[in-house]
């Protein structure tokens, strides 16, 4: 149901990070502190245009590290995305990571870069059967909060 082009906004819970491009199952709960309020800032648009380009294959991801949701962003109710640009060396390790675009700028950049830096992808083989490096990959990481779940986590919800 949720493939690489599915909307990550509706798929996440409080403090969750969606990896839309890879279509990873579910969302990782990474918040260490619940939101201080349930009124969330609007979700910034523009990820599709900003992160257009070659993306790594979902099946190639061998080692995944959950991105951390910055606590300051959680307490302020900030949601956003980061488009990470990187190359893969012949062993499948991300190298030369950069932030191609982000909204809001500077809020989730370090968390996104640290996570992708720790990932490992299956090496791609060249025509000669040898592992080869890949260049110019892009990957969107979406950081989204859900107000209803946040209210329940903080105890301000109405369910008993």
Q: What is the pLDDT of residue 48?
A: 78
User: Quick count: other Cβ atoms within 10 Å of Cβ 119?
Assistant: 20
β-bridge mates for residue 88, sequence order: 94, 134
Q: What's the predicted TM-score (pTM) here?
A: 0.70
pLDDT tens across 35-61, in order? Answer: 444 455 665 677 778 888 888 887 789
Structure tokens at 118: 């720790």
Check residues 98 and 77 and name the one with the higher pLDDT.
98
- Domain 9-154: give its CATH architecture: 2-Layer Sandwich (3.30)
Q: Which of 100, 102, 105 is nearest to 142 (CA)?
A: 102
Give yes or no for residue 91 having a pLDDT over 90.
yes
* The pLDDT value given to residue 66: 86
- In the prediction, which pLDDT does 154 show? 36
Task: Examine the pLDDT at 157 and tell me if it is beyond 90.
Answer: no
């Amino acid at each position: 149901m949720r493939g690489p082009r599915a909307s990550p906004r509706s798929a996440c819970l409080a403090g969750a990070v969606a990896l839309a491009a890879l279509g990873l199952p579910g969302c990782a709960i990474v918040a260490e502190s619940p939101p201080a309020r349930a009124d969330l800032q609007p979700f910034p648009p523009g990820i599709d245009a900003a992160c257009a380009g070659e993306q790594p294959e979902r099946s190639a991801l061998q080692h995944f590290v959950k991105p951390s949701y910055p606590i300051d962003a959680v307490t302020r109710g900030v949601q956003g995305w980061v488009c990470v640009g990187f190359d893969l060396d012949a062993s499948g390790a991300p190298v030369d990571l950069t932030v191609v675009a982000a909204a809001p700028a500077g809020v989730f950049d370090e968390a996104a870069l640290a996570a992708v830096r720790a990932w490992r992808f299956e090496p791609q083989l060249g025509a000669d059967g040898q592992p080869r490096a890949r260049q110019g990959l892009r990957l969107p990481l979406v950081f989204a909060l859900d107000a209803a779940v946040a209210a329940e986590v903080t105890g301000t919800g109405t369910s008993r």
